[in-house]
Amino acid sequence: MSAPPDATVIADLRPPPPAGYRWLVLAACSVAMFSCYYTFDALYPVAPLLEKTFGVTGEQLGLLDTSYNVAALLTLIAGGVLIDRIGMATSAILFAAVGAVGTLLIAVLPALFPATPWAGMMVGRFLLGIGSELFIVASTTVVGRWFKGKEISFALALQLLVARGGSWLADQSPDLFKPLFDGGWQPPLLLAAALGGAWLVFAVVYATLERSAAGRYAVASAGATDKLVLSDLVRFNLGYWWVVGLCVAFYASIFPFRTFANLFLIDAHGVSPERAGTLKSILPMFSMIGMPIFGFIVDKVGRRALFMLIGSALLVPPFLLMSYTHLPLELSMGMLGLAFALVPAVLWPAVTYLVPAQRLGSAYALMTFFQQAFWAAMVWGMGAVKDATGASAANPGGWLPVMWMLAGLSTLGFVFSFLLWRSERGPASHGLETSKA
């Protein structure tokens, strides 16, 4: 009598999932990501209304992002252990539910506690930070499980394109959903809460597809989740730390700017809330279109360090142009949008050239940890400086120190990218400038 077949063999004998099924899984995750990104960015177009209705200060507005960042830092410290233990399907539902609750609290707590509206919003943003950051980790892992080979890059690019569409829609919301904004601060945030509900619905759709496939198809098991290993602080090469420096300076410039962009454009340039949203939407629009294109080009021609140098150089002038010139605002936003597409498309894959594969998870987690920490500090600092200088529509000059902060930090990012480019032109290069993928 023969021994019973091993369960692994049975799994290997199952047919691979049909292409249509795999793309359906990706579609469900991507639409959930769209809603997730919308809920994050929906707060910023409402900032002028919060300032007018509750007297929310710049520092308090910055702290709303800081609470999100603190939640993100805690998830990095956890290292994704929860995802490994409870599985992808359950994780997606749990994290989407936490994020959906956070978006609802952002919309309702200020009305319940009008004396401290920003404190109630901080609770919601903290929950949103836990839900969205872990959901993004889970969704990215989904692509690695359901796609392989040359399909992975395209699938990831497609997922990000759809997700960035959520940011674009949030930026455009003052124009597209003007009647909601005419009704005050709460209706736009209730719309975001409804998108939070859609996020949860499509997370359930994904989880249903995942569980349905478990007994029918051979699907790759999840790899090890990124873990934060602090001992690697002294083990990575100098090129990796140049990339980390660029990452920190880049994201701690562009994301805090997006936090205050609506207020800045309205106060300093006198544009309408609708036009401010349209201008700010240029950034995610360029990112949606440009990232897959730049990723394809870099894979073909190499020159990764040079492309990062060019992208970081594009980030510096717009903050000064918007502060000291009357050139069309579309020019500055277009430059920021190009940088927002070019730098991320090259920066994250570049780490794979600088770090051994067995330490890649730790490398990404450390990089993201520093990114979130400096982003939290920068957005709080910008808010505090805005309040100290009295920046407002009546005092647009008060915005100048805030813009100096952004120009200075983005200049530091350019320095890091130059140091990386110079090191990759020497004998100790890691292949970033070669065309070999």
Q: What is the pLDDT of residues 179-230, one digit of tens each?
A: 999 999 999 999 999 999 999 999 999 999 988 887 777 665 554 555 666 6
Give residue 303's domain range.
Answer: 227-437
Q: Are 253 and 406 in contact (CB under 8 A)?
A: yes
Smallest CA-to-CA distance from 44 within 255, 337, 327, 334 is with 255
The predicted pLDDT at position 220 comes to: 59
Same domain, 114 and 23: yes
CATH code of the domain in which 340 resides: 1.20.1250.20
Residue 198 sits in the same domain as residue 271? no
Dist. CA 412–CA 76, nearest whole Å: 25
Positions of the chain with pLDDT under 70? 1-13, 77-84, 144, 148-153, 218-234, 357-358, 360-361, 428, 430, 435-437
In this prediction, residue 11 carries a pLDDT of: 43
Residues 84 and 134 in one domain: yes
What is the spatial distance between Cα 285 and Cα 165, in angstroms, rounded to a whole number? 7
Tokens linked to 96: 């989407």
Residues 15 and 142 in one domain: yes
Looking at the fold, whether 328 and 435 belong to one and the same domain comes out as yes
- Spacing of C-alpha 139 from chain mean position: 13
Q: How far is CA 21 from CA 147, 188, 251, 283, 359, in A?
A: 11, 35, 35, 32, 32
- pLDDT tens digits for range 71-103: 888 877 665 566 667 777 888 899 999 999 999
Using the 3D structure, point to which of 225, 257, 275 is the last residue of a domain: 225
Residues 231 and 362 in one domain: yes
**pLDDT of amino acid 20:** 87
Residue showing tokens 């000291």: 324
Structure confidence at residue 318 (pLDDT)? 96
The answer for 184, left when phi > 0, alpha when psi is -120 to 50, beta otherwise, is: left
Looking at the structure of the chain, the number of domains it has is 2
Q: Are 252 and 143 part of one and the same domain? A: no
Q: What is the pLDDT of residue 10?
A: 46
| Residue that is last in its domain, among 225, 245, 279 | 225
From 163, 191, 225, the end of a domain falls on 225
pLDDT number for residue 219: 66
